[in-house]
Structure 1
């Protein structure tokens, strides 16, 4: 019996491999045969080696060109000029890949919504809440309140001579800001002596298992079904996720007080929304993913900017002199609209976004009804197609000397044309919902930090922020993405 089973299994594998290599609709797409035959090659590099397949994909492009087949069903493209074809505007249908969204662990959230129309309907509920007009009207007061806490904490660290994790401080700020803005209540991480951050811990938990969950999505569903007590024993790190879920549940079930502004939950619970879209599970998942997504990426951009500015004093002083034109004293408050008019600050923000990358996982799109044509290659409708922000932001033809932090590139003659190659917030109909809030945080926080403090980095080098693994977000080869620092001076004029 065993020989028969082995024989049938071998025959099935051979026939399937021949089909995938020679007769599959993607058989004309260049790429290594080992990747076309099965997902094992990808599994080895992403699960066993821990997020290293991105570099294998880069090698494929070096050998086969800008369009490669990286597994039996997915095509990857490395050409920044093609980005808007893959991540197209709402007038052209783009679904997400149903095999990929399980990685998020929030199946009812907008970020995991597969269908184009359902995503558009879900996003429409929150578009006004995160519009630039709404952010300008509401976020600055929220940000100023949270920044005052951060400034006070850093002043206290200076007085005590403490070394602190600057990335933790920024993540506490961004978490408290997005929670206050979205839920109507701060998460309180800036008040914690160590900037303890359950949202960041939750993201670390998700990131650690991101590739396992992609290959075995049933594990995510099983973990959600387990009793909380058992889950805490099996996966202690999941405690942070559970604690955040409790906070979201409390926020989503509260009633709006008279005279207060609404929260995302008020928009999601509107009686005009279909009942199935107002379920407690969906509100919980949407509320949690908004805050998780809005915490780490913005904090990393602030961390990257701070690392490069405080290790390059000429850049720091140039930026500080410019900020003085709208903040003549360290305590002067300047609006986002005024700050974004400062050319060098604008350049620093763009360069920090470029080198912090945002999510670098392959965010696949599926054009369900139209073929995508790249030169003489036709990609059939229904094919998952992906690109990587990392490759766009590090393209030497677009950004010469791409690994270097050079804000001047955004001021020189080509600078005005470079913004279309910033893809950290994605593009098209599924671009980042919280992009305007992120920009407000970046401008206001960097201006406050540069105008108030001199900072010295402690036991921190470029390897601590260099991306070498793709775990949904980028990670250094060892340890966490981190910057340790000491406040050396508080400016008084």
Structure 2
């Protein structure tokens, strides 16, 4: 019988560095040689560790922006990943027919069954998008408004209560960020699952979750869970070797992050089960709802097939994430920048915005109607400028070159190269937006250059662009139109600090609020 030779252990301290060196160096001098001339952080030439650690810290957008400002327009941010801070690259990387696929990065966002957001298969994506496009048709979007309105009215009632207890020059001080989150969660709960989560009424971050269909029901902090899920999935998407062992690592970021992934899926499982179980028992047959979940349940693909429960849950989870995280972060970001713009140039923003809203929305109306705000030009300019400056979708969404190589500005990118265009960076390039790039100026949208039109990318671009962007704009217009018609605000913080999971989230937004005319 063969015996283990203990002397082999003496080679271990030498073998490990050699193996690691081979793991990182061999691809550098073989597979990825074509990228050798592209500048970037030194460690990024060999691995994704630099980018992964940036995601781990919640500052990937800022790290990539720093790299572009140091190294230039085209930067190597990973061993096979090139970031291009040029609006022309949006067409190259994301347009219809370019043949690129979503990178393996998105596999870290899959829980059980793929959804439209994280599927990498073109045929699967086209099938899912056909069903989802029906759910977000113009007719469907119009039918969502009553659900938005009822939740905004409950939210306004809570804000009204805050105004009763002024603490500073007649204003009641509070952190607006959590309340934007509560509202966004309740609205998407109503639209995607059939009922609001009740976060606005409770004024707390908690919802019901069910890890498996038929399992125990628990209470989980949805906003916290969503934030952790974005952080962990973005990090593990860049460092896939850690995925199998993440829950065992001695770092709460990973252990709590893996737990958050399961809990967030549990929220969708519980909410979908509540609706489907009721339908299967006959409780809901008499009163179908005109919401997203109803369209997912009844939607059919090109072959006339419906989605199964697991797929409906995956798509509902996608809508939960997109409809809560992006809306809460964007509405708070735009809200902050409107107030910041007014503080920087007193009398230049709020008087014009409130005069426009006063003329469109009758006094005493609790929530703006979409018809009243959808064509207000100054409100739209404020929202666009706020989305540019905050850039909720700040990262460069990674696409992998497949089938054949591609080129940009004379550089050759072979099959297997990952390309991305960082929205935050192209939204903050002085050469595109001018020397006042960091200022909130809605008037810049009156006369956009062609470069500026191309560079504005809040909802991505091409066949993978956000299918729900019309709902998002509608929601932003109603929310912001309502609060600036109803309240006066004072801004109590100098800068809007953000933390990035998959999207960029304001950490806090301290303001004073009082009813107008009070």
Confirm or deny that 1:316 pairs with 2:324.
no
Q: Are 2:508 and 1:482 equivalent residues in the alignment?
A: yes
Cα deviation for residue 345 of structure 1 reads 1.0
Q: 1:19 to 1:419 in 2, by over 3 A?
A: same
Q: Scaled by the length of structure 2, what TM-score is found?
A: 0.81
What's 2:107 paired with? 101
SS in 2 for 1:331: coil
Counterparts of 1:272 and 1:308, CA distance in 2 = 42
Q: Once the 2 structures are TM-superposed, how far is the Cα of residue 326 of structure 1 from its aligned partner? A: 1.7
Say whether the 8 Å CA contact 2:73–2:85 is kept in structure 1.
yes
Which residue, out of 463, 471, 493, partners 1:461?
493
Does 2:401 align with 1:395?
A: no
Distance in 2, matches of 1:361 and 1:63, equals 18
State how far apart, in whole Å, the 1-side matches of 2:500 and 2:203 are: 31
Cα distance change on mapping 1:98 and 1:316 into 2, 3 Å:
same
Distance (Å, rounded) in 2 between the aligned partners of 1:323 and 1:416 = 30
Which ranges of structure 2 fall in alignment gaps of 5 or more residues?
Answer: 1-7, 167-171, 208-220, 248-254
Q: What is residue 293 of structure 1 aligned with on the other side?
A: 322
Structure 2 match to 1:228 = none
Q: CA deviation at 1:97?
A: 1.0
Q: Determine helix, strand or coil for the equivalent of 2:133.
A: coil
Residue in 1 aligned with 2:232?
A: 209
**1:35-84 CA distance string (max 9 Å, x none):** 2223333344443xx13454443444345432222222212111122112
Change (3 A) 1:343 1:294: same
CA shift digits 1:162-198 (9 cap, x unpaired):
5433122222222222221222222222211346574
Question: Where does residue 273 of structure 2 map in the other structure?
Answer: 249
Paired residue for 1:156, among 141, 144, 161? 161
Aligned mate of 1:426, from 457, 460, 464? 460
Please show how residues 201-350 of structure 1 align to structure 2 within 5 Å.
Answer: 201-214=224-237, 215-216=239-240, 219=243, 242-255=266-279, 256-270=284-298, 272=300, 278-311=307-340, 312=342, 314=347, 315-331=349-365, 335-350=369-384
SS of alignment partner, residue 68 of structure 1: strand
State which of 434, 441, 455 in structure 2 corresponds to 1:406: 441
- TM-score if structure 1 supplies the norm length? 0.84
1:78 aligns with 2:108: no
For residue 140 of structure 1, the aligned residue among 145, 148, 164 is 145
**Are 1:120 and 2:120 matched, yes or no?**
no
Distance 1:42 1:356, change over 3 A: closer
Q: Which residue number corresponds to residue 35 of structure 1?
A: 44
Aligned length: 472
Distance in 2 (CA, whole Å) between partners of 1:65 and 1:2 is 47
Counterpart-to-counterpart distance in 1, 2:136 and 2:116: 14
Contact 2:115–2:314 (Cα < 8 Å) also in 1: yes
User: What runs of 5+ residues in structure 1 fail to find an aligned partner?
Assistant: 224-230
Q: Which segment is superposed worse, 345-354 or 418-427? A: 418-427
Partner of 2:475: 441
Root mean square deviation, CA, Å: 3.3
Query: Could you say which residue in structure 1 is the equivalent of 2:117?
Result: 111
Matched, 1:57 2:64: yes
What CA distance in whole angstroms lies between the structure 2 residues aligned with 1:470 and 1:339? 30
- Whole-Å separation in 1 of the counterparts to 2:30 and 2:354: 61
